[in-house]
Amino acid sequence: MSELNPSLRDNVRMLGELLGFSIEEHLGRDFLNKIEAIRAAAKDDRGRVGESSPALLKILSEMKDSELVPVTRAFNQFLNLANIAEQYHGIRRHREGDSVDGVESISELLTRLKESGIKDGDIRQLISELNVEFVLTAHPTEVTRRTLIMKYESIADCLAALDQNDLTAHERQEIVDRLRILVAEAWHTDEIRHERPTSVDEAKWGFAVIENSLWHAVPKFLRGMDQALTTECGEGLSIDACPIRIASWMGGDRDGNPNVTAPVTQEVMLLSRWMAADLYLRDISALRNQLSMWDASEELHRHAGASREPYRELLGRLRKQLMATRQWAEKAIEWLKQGHSDLLPPEPQVLLENSRLVEPLLICYRSLVEKGLHTIANGQLLDTIRRVHCFGLELVKLDIRQDSERHRNVLNEVTQYLGLGAFSAWSEEEKVEFLVKELQGNRPLIPQKWPASDEVAEVLSTCRVIAQQPNEALGSYVISMAGLPSDVLTVILLLRECGMTHPMRIVPLFETLDDLVYAPECIDKLLSNDWYKAYTQGHQEVMIGYSDSAKDAGQMMAAWAQYQAQEKLVATAGQHDVRLTLFHGRGGTVGRGGGPANRAIRSQPPGSVNGTFRITEQGEMIRFKFGLPKVAEQNLTVYTTAVIEASLLPPPHPKDEWREMMGWLTERSLASYRHIVREHPDFVRYFRSGTPEQELGKLALGSRPAKRKATGGVESLRAIPWIFAWTQTRLMLPAWLGGDEAIKAALEEGKEATLQTMIEEWPFFKTHIDMLEMVVAKADTRIARYYDNRLVADDLKPLGKLLRQRLKDTVLWVNELKKQESLLRDNPVFKHSMIVRNPYTDPLHYLQAELLKRVRSEDDVSLATVERALKVTMAGIAAGMRNTG
């Protein structure tokens, strides 16, 4: 088995020792010894077979209430420090030229593409049209407070500083002393939010990720891409190339979140403009200091006038406009908070269109090139131009998401008020005919004054806010639970009625199994409508939901349904001569479509990527992937190389026998999954008692409620807390349930040879099996059994025993399929990382089960202390598992 890299091991040990020093200084040597005893007992427990270690359980069960919080905090903090060390180690490996997780550099990929027969012109053409868009979402899984995140970033900077070769002993000690202070500050900082963040807070957190990381990473990434393209294909990126884009749902996603209102969306968009103006002001100030030369083109002199420093003159005017823009955004927010529903009118100097920001920069660029100052032109000035193309004046393009039922309710009230009958009672054909007729006409449909319900008024207020925004500030309008063409046409009509004058992308989100099956037919009907096809201007975006489809049908069935839906959507778009963008609503975990991004993209159906790829990045995964500039740069490479390869060297079409095999497997996996989740009479009670699902609402994770509706069973629970709960107990049920019995049946019926061929030759199936392996490697039946023993009633324990046995069987089937004796044979680094974490994660699991028992009992316990410790265990386990929802 591969050992931990020596440099990584040294960093983990050093950070652990510094944490121990802080703990001892704060709580004394005896307390630190108790922590070490728990860790040693947990390590011993991992080597046992059968019941959990009596020594470990004895120490944990005898803990006083006053020790609960500091003990859980100690293990939580160590896991966070280990994460920092691992994250930085990825940067170190990249810097040293190692391939991180088998991902190629852009240069290596371009070389391989050319060796495969792809022509330079085809590569350049694809890259010129490349569109990889990340949509930052605030799903409730980021459990770490922003103040701690900033300290963790500083710790990573110190680790980087220690890697310098020419440090003196004194300089090295200064860095270690700085680390000691940072670790102490983290130890003495409360890691748990006690108040749920607002939607505006979440948006600010997203802006901070851009300010501190992506703002720096994007131009560096594009500089490297330009250099690779120039070297390998003879021509670099054009100056207006924009292969990377950033969008956001923070402040725009109102599906099931009553806290996102029209004023909230307006405030977030204004804050976004304020932050963008502020960031560009920093760039322009630096450029004015740099561009002090006097020799300039006639074009620049025409714009700058009779100035001896024409570059500074033109940039000075731009600076004043950006200052006016920032000031206007600030005043507009105050105007909004005073209760005004309309947007504060901007002064003429305020910049609203990106062209007004980029044109002065391009004039300076062209002048420098004309005068032979290429080095200066292609320095920071080009970086700023690339930032404008990526981020614009809006910083992020805001998506809006709303449930289709809310839109239908608006029209239902309108048509009844106008005496036209109930819109909801009409057939789909009648709805479409009515909607298209209204869209083709000129008269308004919605009366100026009418007694709209509060919910309807809110939908219309949101549409008015959208209509006030420049087109460049908006991303897509995503309709969740969209199942019919009328759902899309309804949104277009509502936007037009509220003053929208340009066509916004309207994106149906197909989430459940039935939705995915129907998706191609729905899009075909839409694009067959002449009015709608003209509205699309030749581009249709469709969102594929991973979370709810997996919760609805199980991971294996959902993955195959998603694959088939994409295939058919590609064919449908081709028939209508429309370019298709697939928007992937993936989460961080395997149960929500997560896993290594490069492999996931390269295993998509052939033709489904085609140079354009849109994907959600959520919660803690934003921090893991984009929280540090160097890490962000690496992940931009991961995604971009995968999209380029999937477009130019797509995977093979699945053979008929593979399709038949997947149909055979998924028929069984679906039945098996639903038999437990939907049909087993004890399942809901078991889930609610054996996991911390009931207590998750007490953890101030995000602005959104854990449920779409206040009442209801598992079906009403959001996919994220559904998976979060099973991750905390290490049963990891959503990722394997159903697929286990399908694979078992295939092996028992002699279909192993076909499965082996699928693994070897079909990236989709290989990726699915590898992700299944990864998630069951994180699972632990002994820990899951302990939760059952402490929390589950005797009449429910047989179900828990059944599920644990099925999990054990899943491990056997995976190993048999992969011809290996133990899991993760091909991924020793990940395997060893889990082994290192287990002695710190395991005590948190055992403690959590005990704390849940205390919280739910009627005994006399210090409820506030126990609940706080419980929240820390949730955060610590999330850190140890590296993803939660």
Here the tokens at position 614 are 């849109």
Query: How far is the C-alpha of 558 from the C-alpha of 515, rounded, in Å?
Result: 11
Rounded CA gap, 221 and 631, in Å?
Answer: 11
* Coil, helix or strand at residue 824: coil
DSSP-derived 3-state class of residue 579: strand
- Separation CA 179–CA 59 (nearest Å): 31
Is residue 232 within 8 Å of 107, Cβ to Cβ? yes
Correct CATH for 255-394 of 3.30.1360.30, 1.20.1440.90, 1.10.3720.10, 3.30.70.580: 1.20.1440.90
* pLDDT at 100 (0 to 100): 54
- SS3 label, residue 136: strand
Q: Where are the beta strands (DSSP E) in 686-747?
A: none
The span from the CA of 411 to the CA of 386, in Å, is 43
| 8-state DSSP, 196 | P
pLDDT (0 to 100) of residue 303? 96
Neighbour tally for 143: CB within 10 Å: 25
- What pLDDT, on a 0 to 100 scale, did the predictor assign at position 532? 98
Contact 863, 855 (CB under 8 A): yes
Residue type, 544: I
**Per-residue confidence (pLDDT) for residue 564, from 0 to 100:** 98
> In degrees, to the nearest 5, what angle opens at C-alpha 776 toward C-alphas 771 and 781?
170
Report d(CA 831, CA 845) in Å as an integer: 19
Spatial distance between the Cα atoms of 326 and 344, rounded to a whole number of angstroms: 13
Please write down the HEC assignment for all residues of 722-735: HHHHHHHHCCCHHH
Distance, in Å, from the CA atom of 28 to the CA atom of 32, rounded to the nearest integer, reads 7
Count the alpha carbons within 13 Å of 805 in the hemisphere toward its beta carbon: 6
CA 91: distance to chain centroid?
Answer: 20
In the chain, where are the structural domains located? Answer: 255-394, 397-597, 655-881
Per-block mean pLDDT, blocks of 10 residues, the chain (885 long):
75 96 97 94 81 82 89 94 89 70 84 97 96 85 66 93 94 97 95 80 91 96 97 95 96 91 97 98 97 95 94 98 98 95 94 97 98 97 98 98 97 96 97 97 90 96 96 96 95 97 96 94 98 98 91 94 97 98 75 64 94 89 87 94 96 97 98 96 95 78 50 58 90 96 96 97 96 94 94 98 97 95 90 86 93 82 84 88 60
Give CA angle at 382 (379, 383), nearest 5°.
85
At residue 711, the pLDDT reads 47
Contacts of 663 (CB under 8 A, 6+ apart): none
Residues written for the chain: 885
List the catalytic residues: 139, 551
Distance CA 558, CA 592 (A): 10
Q: Is 657 exposed, middle or buried (0-12, 13-18, 19+ CB in 10 A)?
A: exposed
Model pLDDT, residue 245: 97
Nearest of 13, 31, 5, 38 to residue 847 by alpha carbon:
38
